[in-house]
């Protein structure tokens, strides 16, 4: 049993639920900082000038961003809104969109982001938006790995990145336009728990760097190996051995620099899930219990709050906080929300403490790719976010949406 999956701040969640309406997200600052420190320190042990970037798409709440920033991270943005909010907190980083229009690249460049271009055709955008001093390309190294098909983000089926066979062409084209400093980027997949894949893909990236240098003379100053560092969602899954990942990458880089006679590029990585996932909990209240063909525990949160189970069939650990202290048995139930889709189920046929109306249901691992993936289907508003601070205080860091917000810009009257 992996306790990092099953542990949760029970007292703080119960306190928040007593003080504020459910459903809500509660983020644990201590855990967020610990994740940042583990990531940063593990890499910096092996790479003294390592630069961590946080993937804003995982959780873009400004309070979360400011905490991550205070732990020494820059940012990876992938949309106008992400670049905008990063600028608002006084930071910058790298910009990795895909199929990005020229005006969006200009928006990011004006905010100091290093651009990662995703296709050869985008080199011509530089005529329009101006030639930056420093430029990077997202390369598809021909291999990808993730916890499910939709999370495999490189390889022949992936829509992302410049195919590695075309890498020399794009770097030469950018150099001919006047770019002076170059980086290379890859993002091979998400939620990867396979230690070996990280060093294998870095090895492949070095072969690509070598070919670029041989064919064009362009030297790569920095390499960004993306995110994808997995976290356990199921209690039977182990935590990713990050030290083994990074020491494996260290060995590959030492060997490759020697073998190919290359100067070592500065290393960047841009984790999202590893930083944010397990610091967050979605908390809903049991409102209806149905004894149908199965026993369904209906809660006031739904798939629009945290769509991973409905989109991916993703497993999320669920805990019950009882509204009384009467002894309860355990039973097999499904925990569901109120959206008109049968995949609105946070847990299916799961052994849980017997529930009563008024109990709290805690959905673990809801800090990353959770609120950020939320939506308004069925006219459901998204809910508030709270921060459990290091000193034990709980602060609201985002209001719940109101019904009026859903109709903003329409002609109601
Ligand atoms: C370009 C890029 N960078 C970083 C990330 C963050 O990935 P993760 O949250 O798996 O670390 C993603 C996720 O899709 C991504 O597309």
Q: pLDDT for 83-138, tens place per residue? A: 999 999 999 999 999 999 999 999 999 999 999 999 999 999 999 999 999 999 99
Q: Which residues of the chain have pLDDT under 50?
A: none
Query: How high is the pLDDT of residue 4?
Result: 83
**Using alpha carbons only, what angle is made at residue 51 by residues 47 and 56, rounded to the nearest 5 degrees?**
140
Does the beta carbon of 364 lie inside 6 Å of ligand 1? Answer: no
Query: How high is the pLDDT of residue 147?
Result: 87
Does the beta carbon of 93 lie inside 6 Å of ligand 1? Answer: no
Q: Which atom of ligand 1 lies at the shortest distance from residue 230's CA?
A: 10
Does the beta carbon of 118 lie inside 6 Å of ligand 1? Answer: no
Task: Specify whether the CB–CB gap between 388 and 15 falls below 8 A.
Answer: no
CATH architecture for residues 3-7+277-406: Beta Barrel (2.40)
Number of neighbouring beta carbons within 10 Å of residue 255: 13
HEC states along the chain? CCHHHHCCCHHHHHHHHHHCCCCEEEEEHHHHHHHHHHHHHHHHHHCCCCEEEEEHHHCCCHHHHHHHHHCCCEEEECCHHHHHHHHHCCCCEEECCCCCCHHHHHHHHHCCCEEEECCHHHHHHHHHHCCCCEEEEEEECCCCCCCCHHHECCCCCCCCCEEHHHHHHHHHHHHHHCCCEEEEECCCECCECCHHHHHHHHHHHHHHHHHHHHHHCCCCCEEECCCCECCCCCCCCCCCCHHHHHHHHHHHHHHHHHHHCCCCCEEEECCCHHHHHHHEEEEEEEEEEEECCCEEEEECCCCCCCCHHHHHCCCCCEEEECCCCCCCCEEEEEEECCCCCCCCEEEEEEEEECCCCCCEEEECCCCCCCHHHCCCHHHCCCCEEEEECCCCCEEEEECCCCHHHHCCCCCCC
Residue 9 CA to ligand 1 centre (angstroms)? 27
Active site residue 36: no
Give the tokens for residue 1. Answer: 């049993």
Domain boundaries, the chain: 3-7+277-406, 97-269
**b/e burial code for range 137-162 (CB count within 10 A of at least 16 → b):** bbbbbbbbbbbeeebbbbbeebebbb
Question: Which of 323, 340, 355, 408 does the annotation list as catalytic?
Answer: 340
Alpha-carbon distance of 140 to 204, in angstroms, equals: 10
Does the beta carbon of 161 lie inside 6 Å of ligand 1? Answer: no
Does the beta carbon of 271 lie inside 6 Å of ligand 1? Answer: yes
List CB contacts of 397: < 8 A, sequence separation 6 or more.
27, 61, 62, 63, 64, 385, 386, 387
Going from the C-alpha of 52 to that of each of 128, 146, 184, 268, 291, the distances in angstroms are 30, 21, 15, 6, 49
**b/e burial code for range 73-82 (CB count within 10 A of at least 16 → b):** bbbbbbbbeb
Domains 3-7+277-406 and 97-269 share a fold: no
Alpha-carbon distance of 319 to 105, in angstroms, equals: 43
336: β partners: 298, 345
- For the domain bounded by 97-269, which CATH number is listed? 3.20.20.10
Query: How high is the pLDDT of residue 1?
Result: 80
Residue 389 CA to ligand 1 centre (angstroms)? 26
Alpha-carbon distance of 413 to 408, in angstroms, equals: 12
Would you call 38 exposed, middle or buried from its count of C-beta atoms within 10 A (0-12, 13-18, 19+)? middle
Query: Pocket of ligand 1, candidates 36, 52, 78: which has the most ligand atoms within 8 Å of its Cβ, to mutate?
Result: 78
Query: How high is the pLDDT of residue 396?
Result: 98
Residue 101 CA to ligand 1 centre (angstroms)? 20
Q: pLDDT for 288-335, tens place per residue? A: 999 999 999 999 999 999 999 999 999 999 999 999 999 999 999 999
């Amino acid at each position: 049993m992996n306790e990092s999956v099953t542990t949760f701040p029970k007292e703080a969640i119960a306190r928040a639920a007593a003080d504020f309406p459910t459903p809500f997200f509660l983020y644990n600052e201590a855990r967020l900082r610990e994740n940042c420190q583990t990531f940063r320190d593990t890499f910096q042990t092996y790479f003294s000038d390592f630069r961590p970037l946080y993937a804003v798409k995982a959780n873009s709440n400004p309070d979360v961003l400011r905490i991550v920033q205070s732990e020494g991270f820059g940012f990876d943005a992938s949309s106008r809104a992400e670049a905008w909010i990063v600028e608002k907190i006084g930071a910058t980083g790298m910009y990795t969109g895909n199929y990005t229009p020229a005006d969006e690249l200009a928006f990011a460049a004006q905010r100091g982001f290093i651009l990662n271009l995703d296709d050869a055709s985008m080199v011509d955008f530089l005529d329009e938006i101006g030639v930056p001093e420093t430029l990077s390309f997202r390369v598809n190294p021909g291999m990808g790995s993730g916890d499910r098909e939709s999370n495999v983000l490189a390889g022949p089926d992936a829509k992302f990145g410049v195919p590695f066979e075309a890498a020399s062409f794009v770097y030469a084209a950018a150099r001919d336009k006047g770019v002076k400093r170059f980086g290379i980027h890859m993002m091979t997949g998400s939620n990867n728990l396979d230690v070996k894949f990280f060093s294998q893909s870095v090895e492949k990236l070095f072969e690509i760097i070598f070919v670029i240098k041989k064919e064009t003379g362009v030297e790569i100053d920095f390499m960004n190996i993306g995110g994808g560092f997995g976290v356990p969602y199921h209690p039977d899954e182990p935590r990713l051995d990050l030290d083994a990942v990074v020491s494996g990458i260290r060995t590959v880089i030492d060997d490759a620099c020697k073998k190919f006679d290359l100067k070592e590029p500065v290393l960047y990585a841009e984790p999202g899930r590893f930083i944010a996932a397990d610091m967050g909990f979605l908390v809903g209240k049991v409102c209806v219990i149905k004894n149908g063909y199965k026993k369904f525990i209906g809660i006031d949160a739904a798939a629009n709050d945290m769509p991973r189970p409905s989109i991916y069939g993703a497993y999320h650990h669920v805990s019950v906080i009882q509204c009384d202290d009467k002894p309860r048995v355990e039973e097999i139930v499904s925990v569901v929300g109120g959206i008109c889709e049968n995949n609105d189920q946070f847990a299916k046929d799961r052994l849980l403490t017997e529930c009563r109306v008024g109990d709290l249901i805690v959905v673990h691992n809801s800090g990353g790719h959770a609120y950020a993936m939320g939506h308004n289907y069925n006219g459901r508003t998204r809910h508030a976010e709270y921060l459990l601070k290091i000193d034990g205080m709980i602060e609201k860091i985002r209001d719940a949406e109101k019904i009026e917000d859903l109709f903003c810009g329409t002609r109601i009257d």
